Structure 1
Amino acid sequence: MTTKSDGNDATVSRVSSALEYWPAPPPWGWTADDLDHLPAEGPNGEPDFFKHVELIDGALVFMSPQRRFHQLLIRRLSERLDSQAPDHLVAVDQMDVKLSRRTRPCPDVMVIDAEAAADYERTYYLPEEVHLVVEIVSPESVDRDRKTKPLRYAEAGIRHFWRVEEDAGRPVVYVYERDPAGGAYSLTGIHHERLAVSVPFPIDVDLAVLVK
C-alpha cells in the first residue's frame, strides 16, 4: 500500500521532472496535486514565479497582477458575504477548488462549509464543500471567466455562480444557478446598484459602495 509520504515524494519527483520540459508542458500533463509541489522560484530563478497560478484543463494559467478595482471587490464582497452567511458557511477568497484531476482554478471568492474552512492546513476545497463561486472579470481573464470556468464549475456540481463585470467603474453582478436537469448554469438576474438574492442564503449588498 502506498503511504501518504510516498505519494508526496512521487508527486515532488514528477513536478521536478515536468519542469525539465519548461516552458512546454510535460508529456504526461499537469495534475491538480502538482500545484502543491511547485517550487517557490521559477525555472530560471524568478522569485514567486508560481505564486499565482491555477490549472485549467491540464494547462497552467498564470494570473496577471490585480488592479485596485479587482482587489477592493474581492475584499469587500468577501466581508459582506461572510457577515451575512449562516453559521455553517464561511466566505473565503483566492483559495483553490479541485474540480477534477486536471482542473484546479483559484476563484476570487467562494462560500464554503465552515467545517472545511476550519482546517487551516487546506490548500484547496472540493466541489461538494462549495456553495457559491464568484469570479471578478479582468481584461485578461474574460474568456476564462465567461466561458471556461462556469462550464467546469457547473460540471462539478457547484450550484451557484456569480460573474462580476466592470461598467463605468462600477460592479455589475451576473447571477447564475445550476439547473439539475441539464447540469448547466442559467442566468437568474443581472444586478447593478443592489444585489438582493435569497440563495444560497439571503444576501443584500449595496454594490455601489464596494469600490468607494
Structure 2
Amino acid sequence: MTAAQHCDEPIRGHMVLVPTPPKGGFTARDLPRLMEVVDARFELLDGEVVMMAPSTHWHNEVIDILKFALRRIAPSDIVIATEQGVDLGPTVPEPDLLAVNRAVVSADSLSFPPKDVHLVIEVMSPGTKTKDRVLRPAQYSEAGITCFWRVENESGAIVVYTFELLPEGGYAPTGIFRSRLKVDRPFPIDIELPEVTW
C-alpha cells in the first residue's frame, strides 16, 4: 500500500461516550464514575475528558523495563506505580511511571496528590511529542514535583532526559542518559538501559 492509497482511505471508528463536564468541570473525585462510562483510556485536562493516544509496543516495553528496574532499588517507603493520575484538581495527567509515597497508595488508588509524588516519567510516543516536551513539564513543575524524566526512542534505544525542579519553579535539565542511568534524586538510582527487544 502506498502513502497516497493510505491517505485516501476513510478513517473508521467506533462511538465512545465522552461525558459532558458539569459546571466547573470534572476532578479526580469523578474518576471512579468516569471509568464506568468512558470505554477508553483518558485523562482530565481543565475539567474535560481527553482521550489518550494509543501507545506503541516500544513504549510499553520501555515502561516495563523501567518499572521493574526501579522497583528493585526503590526505598521501602516509595512505590513505583504505572499509569496512575496526579491530582491537580480539574487536571489529572496520567504519567507512564511515578515514584509515590507508600503511605498514600491503596488497592483502589486512581490518582495521587503531587506532594506525595517524587518522580514522574513520560515515555514519548509519536503522538505525544508536544505533550511530553512542553505541556507535561509545565504541569508537573507547577505542581512542585521534584523530578521529571522524559524517555525517547533513539533508533530503538532508550534515551532518558532527566530534570529537577528549580527553587524558583520550572525544571532544569540534569542529564541525558544512554545505556546506563545514574542519578542521586529522587533516590539513588544506578540502572542499565538495555536494548529494547522482544
TM tier, smaller: 0.7 to 0.9
What per-residue deviation string (whole Å, max 9, x for no partner) do you get for residues 17-44 of structure 1? Answer: x93x5xxx566433332222115345xx
Match of 2:66 among 77, 85, 89: 77
Q: Is the 8 A contact 1:113 1:130 kept in 2?
A: yes
Secondary structure, aligned partner of 1:208: coil
Aligned residue in 2 for 1:203: 189
Q: Is the 8 A contact 2:28 2:87 kept in 1?
A: yes
**CA distance, structure 2, for counterparts of residue 56 and residue 147 of structure 1:** 15
Q: Is the 8 A contact 1:170 1:211 kept in 2?
A: no
Q: Is the 8 A contact 1:162 1:175 kept in 2?
A: yes
Aligned residue in 2 for 1:109: 97
Match of 2:27 among 28, 31, 34: 31
Deviation for aligned residue 1:211: 4.4
Deviation for aligned residue 1:103: 0.8
Aligned residue in 1 for 2:81: 92
Q: TM-score, length-normalised on structure 2? A: 0.84
Deviation for aligned residue 1:64: 2.0
The root-mean-square deviation of aligned C-alpha atoms, in Å, is 1.9
Gaps of 5+ in 1: 1-17, 43-48
Instruction: Output aligned runs, 1:10-159, within 5 Å.
Output: 19=19, 21=20, 28-38=24-34, 40-42=36-38, 49=39, 51-99=40-88, 101-117=89-105, 119-159=106-146
Give the share of equivalent positions with the same residue, in percent. Answer: 38
AA aligned to 2:27 is T
What per-residue deviation string (whole Å, max 9, x for no partner) do you get for residues 30-84 of structure 1? Answer: 3332222115345xxxxxx2x4100123332211222111111111201111111
Q: TM-score, length-normalised on structure 1? A: 0.79
Count of matched residue pairs: 181
Q: Is the 8 A contact 1:93 1:107 kept in 2?
A: yes
**CA distance, structure 1, for counterparts of residue 64 and residue 78 of structure 2:** 17
Q: Structure 1's 151 and 167: CA in aligned 2 closer, same or farther, altered over 3 A?
A: same
**CA distance, structure 1, for counterparts of residue 129 and residue 28 of structure 2:** 22
